[in-house]
Each structure stands twice: as structure tokens, then as C-alpha cells.
Amino acid sequence: MTTNKLGLYIHIPFCIRKCNYCAFNSVGVCAAGAGTGIYGSTAGSESAFGQAGSANGQACDFTEAALLLFRKYTDAVKNEIDFYGRLAADSYFVDTVFIGGGTPSVIPAEYISEILEQTAGSFRLSDGAEITIECNPGTLTETKLNTYIKSGINRVSMGVQSFDDGLLRILGRIHDSKTAKESFHLLRSAGFQNINLDLMFSIPGHDMNLWKKTLDEAFALRPEHISFYSLQLEENTPFFDMFEKGELDLPSDELDRKMYHEAIAVLEEKGYEHYEISNASVPGKRCRHNLKYWSLDEYLGIGAGAHSYFAGCRFFNRENADEYITSLCGEEFSPKKESEAFFAPCVQSEDIVRNTKDDDMSEFVFTGLRKTEGINLGEFSARFGRSFFEVYRGCIPQLKEYEKNELLSLNNDNFRLTRKGIDISNSIMALFV
């Protein structure tokens, strides 16, 4: 029996309502006319989901149709976990689970428990496995959090984004700053000792004073982990449409970079370790699950649209939740076979990519460069049986040029971006794609 480590990502694609910038695979279950098919029309009702989420972020009263949808989706997720458990439990043990979304805290907490029970029943779960759930302020209750704790969840990632109410309204978030703080204290009272806060900068209307205020308020709470991201403009979002019409007041690129470096200065002053381009933690609390993505470690994505790197292949599930449920619960349930590996019936089979060794080497480098400690070149040789300098001989002159300009550091043991280099990380990483 081998002992390969495996991460499980479990996607729950439901939110109270869609934020103005969001292009994630999620659906707002409280908005009127939230969608079609199983998301839509219950007789006599414009939406299947009844009362909309209130402005202060209290969760909706879900209709029976919504609860039925959550039930079916949970069953499909359990079936997928069961499928991969039968396939892989002998050769893998799970050391991280990340329940993300969407807003997983929207569905009944008992369903999250069921999913974790299925995981523990189908796989060997290592002692001390990191089990994270994403949640949003305004969707938490004491009872819900107690259920999470009893289910073994030991880490929470909360999407705060800002402590400024004006910016939260612009983003279309369901919560305000007060609700975010109350939710954080609720997490602490429930016993969570490993909490991440997601923060966003370069929001339309953002300035440095507002960003500093959000940083101050976030660090005052002493979370164990902070993620800080620049707003990304994505197609098919209200923000994108506004941008096209010239109606979006976005901060300049220069201010964006200043905000980024301000965050690093503050977090270092507060004793946090900046370990990845957009992530920092107190010592010992780095996100072990997300580190897998930057270290070419294996993970299985469970749920609608979830991506996997498993058995040497990259693949993803059907994005549409109706189709996802049908493929795993309906009569058409039948596994797919690609070369020597099997894939669950929810996998988008025409898009399964078997990585070559060249693919793996390049992914190891360009994802590894996201970590501030960079990549260990001894590990590269041990893993691929070839030296970094031999494989990327053609890039060395360009890398040396970047090094001369203090954008990266490269020696026989280690290759990493400098802080200055992070600002042009996409250009440097592109050399390896």
C-alpha cells in the first residue's frame, strides 16, 4: 500500500446572491429569477427561493424547492466522493479538505456534516488533516458553527473583502462591516483557532486611506491568515459591463501596486509571514491545501466545475449543477475511461488532459514561483531526473538579465522572485508556459 497524499476540494456553488464582480461558478439562490431549470420557477413563485437575503446579510428563508436542490446536490457530491474513494482509497490518504464555493455556509450545516462523513468513510483521512470551509459574513449562526466543529472542520476562510460599507455596497456583498466583525467573533466563540480573512483592493472608488483602514481593522482581529487580492475584472459580470461603458472608477495600476506593497509592509510589521504572492499567515498556519496547488501535488476537485490534478491528468467536472447532479444520481451514471485512469461520470470527458513530463516541469516552476520562497532546484532534479539549468537552458540569458535588475534570485539551490519581481510575475512565469 502506497501512501500518496491527496487534497480534496469540494465545490458548493450556491450564494445568497451574486456579487457585482463575480465570475466564479456560483449561483445566487435568493435573487428573484436566479436561473432556469432546477434553480427557477416553482409554481406561483417568481423564484424557487422565496424571500431574498436581507441587506444586513441574514440568510434567506429557503423554500422547499431550494432545500430539495441542496439535498440533491449534496447526494451527488457524496456519490462522487464514494466513486473516487473506491478507486483511490488504497493508494492515497487525504490530508487536506477544502470546502469552497460559492458560499458553502449557505446550505444546511447537516449536509456539510454528511459530506465530511462520506469523505471519512470513503478515504483514509490523516490525523490532523486540515479541513477548511469557506463562508461569508451574515450566513453564520452559533448552531451552524457548532455543527461544523463537530464534523471536524478546523479552519474557516471568510470573505470579508473590505471593512468599508461604501465599498462593500459597490461590490454587491450581502454584508456590512459590523456583520463581518460579528461573524468573526462568532467563529472565535465557537472555538475556531485557524481563520483566514479574504481582503480585496483596487475596488472601484478605492483609495489608500480606505485600504489602510481595512488593513488596520483586519489585523486588529488577529486572524491566523490573510489573503489579499486585487480586484480582477471578469467578463459576464456587472462590473465588466460598467467598465465597457466607461462607468467604472478603477484605481490606477500604480495605486494598485502601492496598495499591494502597503499590505505586505503592514503584515510583516504585525509578524505575519508573506509566503505566497497573495497570502500571509502567522507562523505555522499556512494553508496546507492551497500550497498543494503551488507545489504540483495531487488534488481531486469534487462538485460542479471543480478542477483536479490527479493520476497525472488535469480535468474538470461539468459546470452546470443540473447536469452534474444528473450525471451522478441519474440513470446515466457510468464511469469514463481515459487511457489507464478512470474518471467519475461528472467529468467533462472531452477535456481530460494527460500531462507530459514537460507539462509537469513547467507547471512545477510557474506555480512554484508564486511561493515567496520559490522553488527548490534540488527538488526539481529529484522529481524529474533532470537539472533545471539543462531543461531551461534557453531561458537562462533572460533570467540572468532579470536577476541583474533585481527581479529574481537564481542560484544552484533556489529560484525565486524578489518583491520587485512579483510586480511583473506574469511576464517571468510566462517564460515557462
What are the residues binding ligand SF4 (CB under 6 A)?
Answer: 15, 18-19, 22, 24, 26, 101-103, 136, 159
**Residue 391: strand, helix, or coil:** helix
Least distance to ligand SF4, CB of residue 27, Å = 9
Least distance to ligand SF4, CB of residue 105, Å = 10
Task: Indicate the residue among 287 and 361 with the shorter CB distance to ligand SF4.
Answer: 287
Pull the grid cell for residue 228.
489579499
Asked if residue 3 lies in contact with residue 288, where contact means CB atoms within 8 angstroms, the answer is no
Q: Quick one: residue 37, left, alpha or beta (phi over 0 = left, psi -120 to 50 = alpha)?
A: left
Task: Indicate the residue among 11 and 288 with the shorter CB distance to ligand SF4.
Answer: 11
Least distance to ligand SF4, CB of residue 22, Å = 3
Helices (H) and strands (E) in the chain, counts: 16, 19
Task: Indicate the residue among 26 and 362 with the shorter CB distance to ligand SF4.
Answer: 26
Pull the grid cell for residue 238.
456587472
Least distance to ligand SF4, CB of residue 341, Å = 30
Least distance to ligand SF4, CB of residue 173, Å = 7
Task: Indicate the residue among 18 and 144 with the shorter CB distance to ligand SF4.
Answer: 18
Task: Indicate the residue among 50 and 137 with the shorter CB distance to ligand SF4.
Answer: 137
Task: Indicate the residue among 24 and 342 with the shorter CB distance to ligand SF4.
Answer: 24
Task: Indicate the residue among 18 and 225 with the shorter CB distance to ligand SF4.
Answer: 18
CA 313 to the chain's CA centroid: 20
How far apart, in whole angstroms, are the C-alpha atoms of residue 138 and residue 314?
Answer: 35
Least distance to ligand SF4, CB of residue 160, Å = 11
Least distance to ligand SF4, CB of residue 264, Å = 24
User: Which residue type sits at 288?
Assistant: R
Residue corresponding to grid cell 443540473: 322
Asked if residue 160 lies in contact with residue 176, where contact means CB atoms within 8 angstroms, the answer is no
CA-angle at 388, arms to 384 and 394, nearest 5°? 125
Task: Identify the helix (H) or strand (E) that includes residue 75.
Answer: helix 64-88
Asked if residue 226 lies in contact with residue 218, where contact means CB atoms within 8 angstroms, the answer is yes
